[in-house]
Amino acid sequence: MSVRITEQISWRGDVLEFRLILFGGSVSWFYIYLQAFAQLGMEGLGKRKARYQIDEVRVAGRQRILSDSQIDMNAYRISTVGDYVESRLRQMKMEDGHWQMHFLTPLAMKFQGEFLREFRAEALVQGACRRLQMLDYYVDCEAEMPRVAEYPLVFSQKSEFCQVGRYSSTQDARMTLRGIRGTVRYRTMPEDCLRYLLAGELLHIGKNTSFGFGKYRLEKG
């Protein structure tokens, strides 16, 4: 979804793009969410009540369903996490080189009781598995934590500690969220791990995912 700012949040005329992912029964409420975003734009967002208007809305396949205030629900399509994974697998068959995992936003994840200071293959795969398990619970499907026999072997990595400031309206105070960003390269990539990690691209992993943390892209190169 793309919204165009008409009153200052950052700068007048800025465009903010974001993704809204709906699961289970909430998929049928898409039009209600869309109306809520439109109403919020008229009411104003944040302390300064910055107003915005929705510029366009596209579904996962990039098909445009709203543009110039006109909505075409006939173009609305529902896809699954499995659809996403299969699509990514087809893309990767055309790529060569070592597996690389690029973290586009900070990763905040605990492993063996401590927050990660560098990337650990076991922790990352388990994080993706845990996210899928919780999603199954959300749609009323009892699921055990997936078991992985073999984890990817790390070839090299580059990571850096970073922090992101945010404002909490609940606590009426500024807060700092911390994590690591960077790239990890793998020498091997077992098939079952690959599928879980590709699903994690869509779902994000670790803590603070509601703030965009744990977003990554898996590639070959």
Residue 66's DSSP bridge partners are: 57, 71
12-39 as b/e: b if 16+ CB within 10 A: eeeeeeeeeeeeeeeeeebeeebeebbe
Six-digit token string for 142:
């009892």
Supply the pLDDT for residue 97: 84
Q: What band does 106 get if pLDDT is binned at 50, 70 and 90?
A: very high
Flag whether pLDDT at 6 surpasses 60: no
Supply the pLDDT for residue 61: 66
Top-confidence residue, 90 or 49: 90
Residues 131/204, Cβ–Cβ less than 8 Å: yes
- Average pLDDT score over the chain: 86
Q: How far apart are CA 61 and CA 58, in angstroms?
A: 8
Place of tokens 């990352």: 124
| Lowest mean per-residue pLDDT among 6-10, 49-53, 161-165 | 6-10
Place of tokens 């919780």: 134
Question: What's the CA dihedral at 114, 120, 125, 126 to 10 degrees?
Answer: -20
Residue 57's DSSP bridge partners are: 66
pLDDT mean over 185-199: 94
Six-digit token string for 156:
């090299």
Picking from 164, 161, 220, 151, the residue whose alpha carbon sits closest to that of residue 192 is 151
Residues 166/211, Cβ–Cβ less than 8 Å: yes
Supply the pLDDT for residue 11: 59
Q: How many other C-beta atoms can be found within 10 angstroms of the C-beta atom of residue 128?
A: 26
Of the chain, the percentage scoring pLDDT greater than 70 comes to 94
pTM: predicted TM-score of the whole model, two decimal places: 0.84
Q: How far apart are CA 186 and CA 181, in angstroms?
A: 16
Six-digit token string for 67:
């543009």
Largest CA distance in the chain: 53
